[in-house]
Amino acid sequence: MNAWGRQFGFELLRLFARKRTYIGFGVFLAMEVGVLLLLRVPAVQRSMRRVIEQAGYAFEDYYSGLSLAFLIIVWTLFLLGALYLALVGGDMVSKEVEEGTLRMILCRPISRARIISLKAAATVVYTVVLCVFICLSALGVGMLERGIGGMFVYAPAEQLFAMHSFAVGLERFAIAIPLIAYGLLPVSFLAFFFSCFRMKPAAATVLTLSVMFVDSVFKNIPFFEDVRHFFLTHYMGAWMLVFAPQIPWESILERVLFLAGLMGTLLVGSWLVLERRDFKS
């Protein structure tokens, strides 16, 4: 294994050996069960039934595990996902500065660019692992509750309404997972960027969440309908388009490229900030 690989291995070891890394996993599981319990409430089910039956479909056929998984993800991911990704991303550099371990690392013949690359890669791994966990656990919980059946997709914010057979729904769900992880990476990278400045880890997390919150609120204000493409959360929602009756690949690609540009900029910005900093007791 080369030096980068060895160092990356230790970066992951440090990340996944910390208890707080797993808080997000536990909370998500609890949240998914909570959403499921909420969906059992008769009034909520009546509302779902009305939407499905008004579209001309049988509620029993389309209120399935896949449909529940989709709803759970829509309702929990961007609320809690952003929180835990900001928490871990915001810790990546600033926590090590705060605890003094970054200074110990900087005694070594390692460049700051290398440190950024290692920590950014670890951030990507955490984001992907958390998102895959959320998606698979949502699917598992949904399947346990309602079993196999057609998929009903309803997301008014994205003007999305679709019905899929189980096979197509499952296929779309599988395609959506990497896009969900990719869509949430900017949150991690934004927190990572802030964590490179001289600030407490909590401040980096709060700043990230503030940006995401303001972005999300503004995007959903009707007056800003025509300028939705100015908002980050618009691009982060690319995964939902996978569930459209016809997948709009061009639109997805456009959003993916925008996010790639943003993440690249944040990464370079992180490196520039870290490179200029002085580390002293």
Partner 1 sequence: MVRLENLSKRFRGRQALEPLTLEIPRGEIVGLLGHNGAGKSTTFGMILGQVHPSTGEVFVEGASVQRERARALARVGAIFETPSFYTYLSGWTNLRIFAAYSAKVDRAELEAAVRLVGMEKRIHDPVSVYSHGMRQRLALAQALVPAPSFLLLDEPTEGLDPEGIHEMRNLILRLREERGMTVLLASHLLAEVEHLCDRVAVLKMGRLLFSGRWQDTLSPRVYRIVCADMARANEVIARCGLSLVGEGTYAVPSELDPAALLEALVGARAGVTEFAPERPSLEAFYLSVSAAEGAGR
Tell me how far, at minimum, the Cβ of 108 lies from partner 1, in Å.
4
- Residue 45 vs 101, nearer CB to partner 1: 101
Tell me how far, at minimum, the Cβ of 205 lies from partner 1, in Å.
20
- Residue 7 vs 208, nearer CB to partner 1: 7
SS (H, E, C) the chain: CCHHHHHHHHHHHHHHHCHHHHHHHHHHHHHHHHHHHHHCCHHHHHHHHHHHHHCCCCHHHHCCHHHHHHHHHHHHHHHHHHHHHHHHHHHCCHHHHHHCHHHHHCCCCCCHHHHHHHHHHHHHHHHHHHHHHHHHHHHHHHHHHHCCCCEEEEEHHHCEEEEECHHHHHHHHHHHHHHHHHHHHHHHHHHHHHHCCCCCHHHHHHHHHHHHHHHHHHHCCHHHHHHHHHCHHHHHHHHHHHHCCCCCHHHHHHHHHHHHHHHHHHHHHHHHHHHHCCCCC
- Residue 40 vs 280, nearer CB to partner 1: 280
Tell me how far, at minimum, the Cβ of 3 lies from partner 1, in Å.
7
Tell me how far, at minimum, the Cβ of 109 lies from partner 1, in Å.
4
Tell me how far, at minimum, the Cβ of 107 lies from partner 1, in Å.
4
| End-to-end Cα separation, the chain, in angstroms | 34
**What is the C-alpha separation between 3 and 149, in angstroms, rounded?**
49
Tell me how far, at minimum, the Cβ of 24 lies from partner 1, in Å.
17
- Residue 213 vs 279, nearer CB to partner 1: 279
Tell me how far, at minimum, the Cβ of 129 lies from partner 1, in Å.
19
Q: Residues 153, 160: contact at Cβ < 8 Å?
A: yes
- Residue 13 vs 58, nearer CB to partner 1: 13
- Residue 40 vs 108, nearer CB to partner 1: 108
**What is the C-alpha separation between 85 and 122, in angstroms, rounded?**
12
- Residue 6 vs 46, nearer CB to partner 1: 6
Q: Which residues of this protein are in contact with partner 1, per CB under 8 A?
A: 3, 6-7, 10, 13-14, 17-19, 99-101, 103-111, 276, 278-281
